[in-house]
Amino acid sequence: MPAHTHAKRDAFASTLGAFAATVGSAIGLGNIWKFPYLTGSNGGAAFVLTYLLAVALVGIPVMVVEHVIGRRMRLNAVHAYGRVVPNQPYWSVIGWAGLVSAVLIMAFYTDVAGWVFAYVFKSFGAMVSGRTLTAETFGALASGTWEPLFWQVVVLAVTTSIIAAGVSKGIEKVTKTLMPLLFVLLVVCDVRALTLPGASEGVAYLFKPDLSKLTGAVLLSALGLAFFKLSLGMGTMTTYGSYLPDQVRIVPNATRVALADTLVSLLAGLAVFPTVFAFGGTPAGGPGLLFNTIPLVFSQMPGGALFTVLFFVLSAIATIGAMVSLMEVPVAWIVERGHARRTVAAVITGGTMFALGILATLSQGPALRDVKPFGLTFFDLFDFLSSNVLLPAGGLAIAIVGGWLVSREAFTDEMNKGHAEPPWYDRVVYGFIRFVAPVLILLIFLNSLGVITLA
Ligand code: PHE
């Protein structure tokens, strides 16, 4: 694995900055929107358990490989994978698939982020006029035409401008200051939710697994969510790895990121499910689950309306860190191909994402609701293709490249930078990368294709 050095390349300024930016990519709608929504539609605790195992056994090892290859190559994902194994340029396919995933994910992600932005204003309006937001509020927004499209444009414009401003300046500052606040607010939410009458049913739903609920589809969604959550399998973490300073210890950093991210997901689940049960709702509430639950949990609390506004403001900020990291994958590639300045690259990327985004957004309403290629709406199709197909497949290829094709010496040398001598876990992590992660991904794929039967 040839090491590259670039004199002028941008980078995160410090170890804390690198951690904050990586967490900023990981934490987003995946925690507060997708985790509760998928847990609810996949039967609860059995899904949560599978998800936690997927993060530990597959997610952390793949993140380590991405950071190692990214930092070693100091290149965008397409070029990093194209050059990391001598004489095997075709691995750049990982980076290409990553570009496709970034666009597919952003197409539906910006729709949901648009709902969050809209809810900042709606919850503020509700507070001022003393109303409560209801399921109808959400339904009207999501299935509308111009309103969700308008918010999608706002979201894309914000992200594009941050990207155009540059890596360290743009991303680090926002995330470092505001993520801790989101965390505190989630804890407030949890305390309120857990003290509602009937809350224990929600807790049991989240933590008492009924293993008969496990099916091939559930396993695949849990694996897909682990990739989506940790921004893996598509070059985001490779690109961020390329901005990691040398003193960052890759394995502890990746472990901390995964822990922080998982904690935030569980906190979101603990706010949502007790509330759902306390108010007699259904956990399988679909994509609107978060939007319908949060106003409810705060509705019976003094000053609750203000907390609802705050919740959506902080969530909006959390989505930005994730969207910036998604957009960074194509932008870094366009810029390093040498054909465009950052600003131009950001605008081209944002435009492409919007083009597909229109399809995803309109598929939530009457305009395109009934158009179902492969039996799925555009929104669900983009989600399924990226989370459940491209990201795990990318992760499999990444684990194979890192564990089998790159020389062990070069790999562990990069992984252990920042340590005086190889740490105790060196062999364990390498073993996970070579065997555990790729085998598990493969088994879950084969299982969901019906070739073997695990669940
Ligand atoms: N991890 C982000 C979230 O949970 C989404 C994401 C996926 C970001 C893939 C980058 C790459 O919201």
Render pLDDT for 261-302 as a digit per residue (tens, 0 to 9). Answer: 999 999 999 999 999 999 988 999 889 999 999 998 888 788
Which of 296, 287, 208 lies closest to 29 in space, CA to CA?
287
CB of residue 21 inside a 6 A radius of ligand 1:
no
Joined tokens for residue 112: 């949901």
Q: What is the mean predicted confidence (pLDDT) over 102-108?
A: 97
Alpha-carbon span 336 to 8, nearest angstrom = 12
Cα gap 245→230, rounded to integer Å? 20
Pocket of ligand 1 contains residue 238 by CB under 6 Å = no
Ligand 1 in contact with 99 (CB < 6 A)? Answer: no
Question: How confident is residue 171, by pLDDT bands cut at 50, 70 and 90?
Answer: low
- Between 256 and 172, name the one with better pLDDT: 256
> Which residues, including other chains, have CB under 8 Å from residue 415's CB and lie 6 or more apart?
64, 68, 250, 251, 426, 429
With a 6 Å cutoff on the Cβ, whether 59 touches ligand 1 is: no
Which atom from ligand 1 is nearest to the alpha carbon of 319? Answer: 12
Query: Mean per-residue pLDDT for 31-51?
Result: 96
Cα gap 145→365, rounded to integer Å:
7
Q: Which two tokens stand for residue 210?
A: 């009924």
The 3 state secondary structure assigned to 167-181 is HHHHHHHHHHHHHHH
All residues at 6 or more sequence positions from 389 whose CB lies less than 8 Å from its CB, including other chains: none
Residues 6 or more apart whose Cβ sits within 8 Å of residue 115:
138, 141, 142, 148, 151, 291
Cα angle for residues 378, 380, 385 (degrees, 5° grid): 95
For residue 7, the model assigns a pLDDT of 45
Residue 437, SS3? helix
Spatial distance between the Cα atoms of 39 and 45, rounded to a whole number of angstroms: 7
Of 420, 419, 401, nearest in space to 411 by CA: 401
Distance (Å) from CA 106 to ligand 1 centroid: 9
Ligand 1 pocket member 159 (CB < 6 A): no
- In the reported structure, the alpha carbon of residue 86 is separated from the centroid of ligand 1 by a whole-number distance in angstroms of 30
Residue whose CA is at the smallest distance from ligand 1 atom 10? 231
99 Cα–ligand 1 center, Å: 14
pLDDT averaged over the chain?
A: 92
Tell me if 105 CB under 6 Å of ligand 1: yes
Q: How far is the CA of 322 from the centre of ligand 1 (A)?
A: 5
Flag whether pLDDT at 107 surpasses 60.
yes
The answer, yes or no, to whether any atom of ligand 1 lies below 6 A from the CB of 390, is no
Q: 345: CA distance to ligand 1 center in Å?
A: 20
Share of the chain above pLDDT 70, in %: 96
